[in-house]
Every structure is written in C-alpha cells, then in structure tokens.
Amino acid sequence: MWTNKNVWIILTGELVAGLGLWMGIIGNLEFMQEKVPSDFMKSVILAIGLLAGIAVGPLAGRITDQKRKKTVMIYAGLGRMVSVIFMFIALYMDSVIWLVAFVISIQMAAAFYFPALQAAIPLIVEGKNLLRMNGVHMNVATVARILGTSLAGILLVVMSLFMLYLSSFIAYFLLFVFTLFLKIDEPTEQKNTVKQKSKGSFKDVLPVIKGLPIVLMTLILTLIPLLFLGGFNLMVINISEIHDDQMIKGIIYAAEGISFMLGAFVVKKISDRWSPYSIMFFFSLIVGFAQISLFFVEMKIVAVAAFAIVGFSLGCFFPTAATIFQTRMPKEYHGRFFSFRNMLERVMFQVVLLGTGFLLDLVGLQIMVVIFGMISVGLSGFFYFRFKRHSKEEDTKKAVSL
C-alpha cells in the first residue's frame, strides 16, 4: 500500500486540506462569538450550511457515479476556494450574511468531494488494505484537525481573521494541485455499467441498502455518535465560557484528536478478535457514557477525559464502518450511497445542532449532556438486542433449511 503514489497524494492532500478546514472552522467560531450572541442562532447558521449540503446530495451522488471520481474532486476543490472568497467579503463588510454564504458554499462543495473520495479509495487500495487505509486516512485528518485548531489559536493571537482565512485558502489551493496528480483506474466495462445503472433515480440505492442487512445496520449505528459530534463545537465554546479559559478549547481538541488517532491505530488489532458489530456496539455505548460524564464539566480533568474517551471510541468505530460500506456496497452504487450517507448524517447533524443550541439556552450544558447521553446509551442497547435477535432468527432459518 505504501508504494502506491495515489495513497500518498490522498493522504498529503487530506493533511493540507484539513489544516485549511479547521483553521476556517476556528475562524468561524471566533467570528460568530463576536457577532452572534445566541447559541441557538449560532446553531441555526451552521445548520443552514448542512441543509444546503443535503439539498445537493442527490445530484452529487448521481454525478459521482456517472463521472470520473478525480474530476468531481477537482471541481469540488475549486468550489472550496470560491467559498473562502465569500468569507473575505464577510470580514470586509463585517456581515453575518456573507458568513452564511460561506457556510452554504463550503458545505455544497463538501457534498460533492467526500462521496467522490470515499468511492475513490477502494479503486486505489486493495480490499485487504482498506481497513488500514481508512484508519490512516482518518488519522491524517485528525492530525490536521489538531494542528489546524492549535495553529489557528496561535495565529489569532498574532494576526487577523483575514490572514487566518488566507491561510485556509492557500491550503485548499494546494489540495486542488495535489488532486490533479491522482491517477485512478476505472475500468471501461465498469464505467459503462455504472453509467447505465446511475441513469435511474437516486432512490434506486434504497432497495440495495435494504437488501444488505449488514450495510443497513451499520448505517443506523453510525448515527448514534452524531448525538455527540453534532454539537461538538458548541459544547467546546460553552465549556470555555464555563471555565473562562480560551486555552481549554485547544486542549479539548488535542485530547480528542490524539485519542482518535490512537483508536484508529489499534482498531486493526481489535478487529482480529472482535467482529465489526461488536466494535461498533461497544464503542457507541462508551460514547454515550462519556456524554453523561460531562455532567461534571466544572472539573476540567473530567471534561478533557470525556472528550479523550470519545475520541478513542470514534477512532475504532468509524474506520470499521467505512470499511464495511466500501466492501459490502456494490461499486456501481458507491457515489449515490456515500451521498445518501452524507445526507443522512447532515440531517442528523442539523437536528442535533439545533437541539444543542436550543438546550444550551434552555437548560444549560450539564442537563443537555445527560439527555443526549441517555439517548445514545438507550439506542445502542436497543439496536444491540435487535441485532442479536435478528442473528438468532437467521441462524434458525439456516438450520431449518439444512
């Protein structure tokens, strides 16, 4: 795998783009803290961007299945660069409206880029290396998040928001350049098959998902951690306000990110002993308990530890889920499937984001995390017992047939 030039291009591009992404996110949070006093309104602004990504999801899925993955990634990269220009205008005009335009455009570009990337990875890496590649790719993204958030925090002290977004723009430009050097082989026969099948409705992917129980169950399970991730940034802002400490933002991001990297590193060894479902059920449960522990958020060590535990859990959870999707879902449906998955996650993110903002204003962080944590634990337990019952029914049917 490490002799594959495409692997290095994707990983390097992910590192550079991740730096730009997270510097932009920290810039957004800083801008909103200055211009938007309400947590709920902050969540509404972020949710508008997610809604835009959902709206273009079906189109992004069809185009990803019909066109070359590299082409889709290139145009999505151009879209990211254009979006940063909107933020320059927002800073110049001191306007929240242009911030909203930035959030919308960056999310629309992401709606095209990530399905194409997820569909491209199985085309450049052999099946036996997919779990490792997914883990390494997510680790690189996490390194970029740690460096990006830390660097952004430092840069905000010594330079303006404009310079921070200029750094983000340069990172997206470098990603665009790296993407140009990708060489993805898509067999002609496969392309023709994909084009024929992708002429149908975007909804054609739904019966395929229903016909693959392992894909359907994995898709459902991936929604549970989003109860934590959807309000991640708003919780970090709130924790920093509780402690009146801006530095704790960077500490939390670093603790969660480093733990995520550790989880993604060891998940290959864990998968030798545990089934994919055991990994996902166990760690989604741990995420729920970590949420509940944030009830004691007034203790800094508890707050940092909770985010670290979540990071490790997700580092094991998400590479496992991504590998199942890439190997069990037919390649001719990859574009539409990953678009559908992104749309589903964005809807969940939107609901959780709005709910987080609303509950932070209504009952505060401590009560909110208990509510979300209990929901996470309850859903994890419910789907675990449902899965066990389904497995027993399948075993009974096989025994009868024999």
Please write the tens of the pLDDT for every residue from 226-274: 888 888 878 888 888 888 877 787 788 888 888 988 888 888 788 888 8
- Answer with the residue of higher pLDDT: 75 or 399: 75
pLDDT number for residue 9? 85
The whole-angstrom separation of Cα 315 and Cα 301 is: 21
The whole-angstrom separation of Cα 169 and Cα 302 is: 36
* pLDDT tens-place string over residues 165-215: 888 898 889 888 988 888 877 665 445 554 555 455 667 788 888 888 778
pLDDT number for residue 126? 75
Question: Which pair of tokens denotes residue 46?
Answer: 């972020």
Q: How many residues does the chain have?
A: 402
pLDDT number for residue 189? 47
Residue written as tokens 């939390």? Answer: 252
Q: Please report, as a single letter, which amino acid is at residue 121.
A: I
Mutual angle of helices 96-124 and 69-93, in 10-degree steps: 160
Q: Is the pTM of this model over 0.85?
A: no
CATH topology of domain 5-182+202-401: Growth Hormone; Chain: A; (1.20.1250)
pLDDT number for residue 402? 53
pLDDT number for residue 35? 82
Ordered alpha helix ranges (H), 199-333: 205-210, 213-221, 226-229, 232-243, 247-271, 276-293, 300-328
- Answer with the residue of higher pLDDT: 309 or 326: 309
Distant-in-sequence, close-in-space partners of 355: CB < 8 Å, separation ≥ 6: 230, 231
Q: Binning pLDDT at 50, 70 and 90, where does residue 57 land?
A: confident
The arithmetic mean of pLDDT across residues 144-152, rounded, is 75
pLDDT number for residue 40? 76
Q: Binning pLDDT at 50, 70 and 90, where does residue 89 land?
A: very high
Task: Choose from 4-8, 83-87, 393-397 the range with maximum mean pLDDT.
Answer: 83-87
Q: Is the pLDDT of residue 305 over 80?
A: yes
The whole-angstrom separation of Cα 174 and Cα 275 is: 39
pLDDT number for residue 401? 56
pLDDT number for residue 398? 58
Q: Please report, as a single letter, which amino acid is at residue 202.
A: F
* pLDDT tens-place string over residues 105-114: 988 888 888 8
Tell me if 120 sits within 8 A of 178, measured CB to CB: no
The whole-angstrom separation of Cα 180 and Cα 144 is: 21
- Answer with the residue of higher pLDDT: 304 or 42: 304
The whole-angstrom separation of Cα 303 and Cα 248 is: 10
pLDDT number for residue 85? 92
pLDDT number for residue 367? 92
In percent, the amount of the chain with pLDDT more than 70 equals 92
Conformational region of residue 200, where left means phi above 0, alpha means psi within -120 to 50, and beta covers everything else: beta
Q: Is the pLDDT of residue 10 over 80?
A: yes
* End-to-end CA gap in the chain: 42
- Answer with the residue of higher pLDDT: 289 or 275: 289
3 state SS of 363: coil
The arithmetic mean of pLDDT across residues 341-356, rounded, is 79
Tell me if 217 sits within 8 A of 387, measured CB to CB: yes
DSSP letter at 17 equals: H
Q: Please report, as a single letter, which amino acid is at residue 3.
A: T
- Answer with the residue of higher pLDDT: 369 or 210: 369
Conformational region of residue 246, where left means phi above 0, alpha means psi within -120 to 50, and beta covers everything else: alpha
What is the residue-wise DSSP string for 45-112? HHHHHHHHHHHTHHHHHHHHHHS-HHHHHHHHHHHHHHHHHHHHHHHHHT-HHHHHHHHHHHHHHHHH
In percent, the amount of the chain with pLDDT more than 90 equals 12
| CA-based R_g, the chain, Å | 21
Tell me if 260 sits within 8 A of 138, measured CB to CB: yes
Average pLDDT, the chain: 82
What backbone torsions phi and psi does residue 177 show, to the nearest 5 degrees? -65, -45
The whole-angstrom separation of Cα 26 and Cα 22 is: 6
pLDDT number for residue 210? 83
The arithmetic mean of pLDDT across residues 61-70, rounded, is 83
Tell me if 88 sits within 8 A of 164, measured CB to CB: no
